[in-house]
Amino acid sequence: MSGLVTTIVADSANLKEGMEFIENGLKKYNVKGKDKAKAMLLSEEYLVKIIRGTQNSGNISIGVKKSIGKTTITIMAKGQNIIQEDTPEDIIDFYGVESAPNAEAVIRNMIINANRDILRRSYRNSTNKGVITAGVSSQKNLIYVLTSMVMAAVICTLMRLILPENINMAVNDYVFVTIKTIFLNALKAIIAPLIFFSIAASVSSTTDITEIGKLGGKVISFYGMTTLAATIIAYFSFNLVSPGVFNELAYLVKGTETATQGEMVSILDTLIDIVPDNFFGAFVNSATLQLIFLAILIGGVVPFMGERTEKIASFIASANELFLRGASVITKCLPIAVFAFIGSMVLTMDVKVISTMVSLFISLLLGLVIMMVFYMTVVMILTKSNPIRFLKEAIPAWLNAFALSSSSAAMAFTMQTCDKKLKISPRLYSFSIPLGATINMDGFVIVLTISFLFLAKVFGVTLSTGDISALIVTIVLLSFGAPGIPGVSTICMSVLLMQFNVPMEALALFIGIDAITDPLNTANNVFGDIVGTYCIAKRNNMMQE
């Protein structure tokens, strides 16, 4: 067992020693807050049970270790009986439970059963073993995806150098293409209801203007302004660098030899098409703008349904949770899909694509840098403050978000920066920062916009003026209603690919792009939240005295 390990004698007098060891281990591996409290509680309950189940004062091994993406606590000891929920001592008798002899065992068993999601138990070779997941890294998915990408690139490069071409093509056609197709089909099936219920649930809970208030209106307006600016900056950066060559990757689409020409649709046609003539047709066709329109419409009328409001809102929220969980299950398979995507690309792609990807990353970095300059300009104009001084105070939060790659995980430190460094009133930042982590995603918008324009170009899809307008509107709305689950960028990109008829094979490239740029765009998202909060605080006398 690697990591920190200790051994105690199976005696109740040593319970405190074991718990102190676990607590120190969690502290070393930086497990805090609810994760730590839940793990400590569950460890104590399981340790008590395993002490009782270990005969003749045997030894109990306790280990705390940190592996890729998570921290675990392992408790194991020899014993003749299996420690599980259905042992005789765990029979629950609710009558007179406070005075029942088995009351303590009942309570401990209830705690363990309530936390089955983070506790795994086994009994092999007369040894009871419990493994408790104490904390999951916010970068776990990123680590898994990057590992999968590297493995696919290395393994498939070796295959291309060693094995005959016919074998490589067979592996690609019968293994990689099969996995890709299954993953994409599952993703397509969940997208339409996911978009609808996610946005409808959000709108139905925030439509009441009196609840939002003037402050909320200012925060949302500011975030909307910076998001729109992000799309314009992304479009400018893409055209300035102009990465890729039109139609150069169309050969990656099986059976496609010519470019796919997009229909020339006017802005007026785009606006008209937002309103569907068939409710279910929007779902069948995965028409993103139509789904967003319907979600806003349905979510907006929920507060006005009188006594039925609560039931309808509960239904929408439950449906949203249902499809979010479904999407989470699908995106957990992302590392496997990434291996298939990247492996297929390596076996079939020309070497010149590498230079094309470099130009794309230059465009992405340019967009993110310009967005930072835009933020500093906004601070200078709206607050009359020194932007360099502001940057000096806010940069630790930027670095923290970069390291965590999660706006939600970085939220506590972001709010601390607003409080201690920038001296913003808690009345504002306690509202604006959580809201910003949900709807203000400027870095996400830049990466999504530039990446999509690049993919449409290299896969030979022509975008009209109407398409560009629809793209900007769709991305802005997606950024406001994007579900907060791992892999959300992949889901949003697949929405855009289907909306504008770009081959879904393009998703393979985006997965790699997103994995590499995710820390940067997350840091940009968080910085935008801080800028908005600071500017509103300065202009509305909401700074700490």
Which pLDDT does position 405 carry in this prediction?
66
User: Checking phi first, is residue 503 left (phi over 0); if not, alpha (psi -120 to 50) or beta?
Assistant: beta
Q: Which of 325, 382, 321, 289 is nearest to 117 (CA)?
A: 325
**What is the average pLDDT across 384-390?**
89
Same domain, 224 and 319: yes
Which pLDDT does position 376 carry in this prediction?
94
The model's pLDDT over 217-245, given as tens digits with 9 standing for 90+, comes to 788 889 889 998 999 999 999 999 988 88
User: Checking phi first, is residue 130 left (phi over 0); if not, alpha (psi -120 to 50) or beta?
Assistant: beta
Reading across the β-sheet that carries 4-9, which strands appear in turn?
4-9, 59-67, 70-78, 127-136, 119-124
Same domain, 146 and 124: no
| Range ranked top by mean pLDDT from 124-133, 235-244, 408-417, 518-527 | 235-244
CA distance 529 to 534: 9
pLDDT at 85 over 60: no
Whether residue 81 contacts residue 55, with contact meaning beta carbons closer than 8 Å, is answered with: no
CB atoms within 10 A of CB 37: 12
Evaluated on CA atoms 271, 280, 462, 263, the torsion sign reads negative
Same domain, 53 and 120: yes
Average model confidence (pLDDT) across the chain? 78
- What's the DSSP call for residue 95? T
String of b and e for 268-281 (b: at least 16 CB within 10 Å)?
Answer: eebeebbebeeeee
**What is the average pLDDT across 66-88?**
69
Split at pLDDT 50, 70, 90, the class of 534 is: very high
E strands, 181-340, in order: none
Split at pLDDT 50, 70, 90, the class of 263 is: very low
Q: Token digits for 136?
A: 């999951």
331 vs 29 pLDDT, higher one: 29
Q: Token digits for 205?
A: 């809970």
Count up the domains in the chain and report the number. Answer: 2
Same domain, 78 and 192: no
Three-state DSSP state, 260: strand
Same domain, 384 and 260: yes
Q: Is residue 545 part of a domain?
A: no
Q: Is residue 544 part of a domain?
A: no
**What is the average pLDDT across 115-126?**
72
Q: Is residue 528 part of a domain?
A: yes
Q: Is residue 490 part of a domain?
A: yes
Whether residue 303 contacts residue 204, with contact meaning beta carbons closer than 8 Å, is answered with: yes
Q: Token digits for 367?
A: 């967009």
Lowest mean pLDDT among 65-74, 134-143, 213-222, 492-501: 134-143
CA distance 48 to 387: 56
CATH code assigned at 69: 3.30.565.10
Same domain, 150 and 133: no
Whether residue 96 contacts residue 48, with contact meaning beta carbons closer than 8 Å, is answered with: no
pLDDT at 512 over 70: yes
- Find the domain containing 319 and state its range: 141-539
Whole-number percent of the chain with pLDDT over 90: 11
The model's pLDDT over 307-354, given as tens digits with 9 standing for 90+, comes to 888 888 888 888 877 887 787 777 778 788 878 877 887 887 766 666
Where does a domain end: 110, 137, 164? Answer: 137
Where does a domain end: 137, 164, 192? Answer: 137
Split at pLDDT 50, 70, 90, the class of 409 is: low
E strands, 96-223, in order: 119-124, 127-136
Same domain, 116 and 162: no
Split at pLDDT 50, 70, 90, the class of 453 is: very high
Q: Is residue 238 part of a domain?
A: yes
Same domain, 318 and 425: yes
Which pLDDT does position 545 carry in this prediction?
66
Which pLDDT does position 92 carry in this prediction?
37
Q: Which of 353, 524, 541 is nearest to 454 (CA)?
A: 353
Burial class (CB in 10 A: 0-12, 13-18, 19+), 81: middle
Where does a domain end: 137, 157, 186? Answer: 137
CA distance 215 to 373: 26
Helix axes 488-499, 506-539, angle to 10 degrees: 110
4 pairs with which residues across the strands?
64
**What is the average pLDDT across 51-66?**
80
**What is the average pLDDT across 68-79?**
80
Whether residue 150 contacts residue 90, with contact meaning beta carbons closer than 8 Å, is answered with: no
CATH code assigned at 196: 1.10.3860
438 pairs with which residues across the strands?
none
The model's pLDDT over 144-164, given as tens digits with 9 standing for 90+, comes to 777 888 898 899 889 988 989
pLDDT at 424 over 50: yes
pLDDT at 491 over 90: no
Rounded to two decimals, what is the model's pTM? 0.60
Same domain, 133 and 175: no
Same domain, 74 and 108: yes
Same domain, 107 and 167: no
- What's the DSSP call for residue 291? H
CA distance 394 to 159: 47
The model's pLDDT over 456-465, given as tens digits with 9 standing for 90+, comes to 998 888 888 8
Same domain, 101 and 154: no
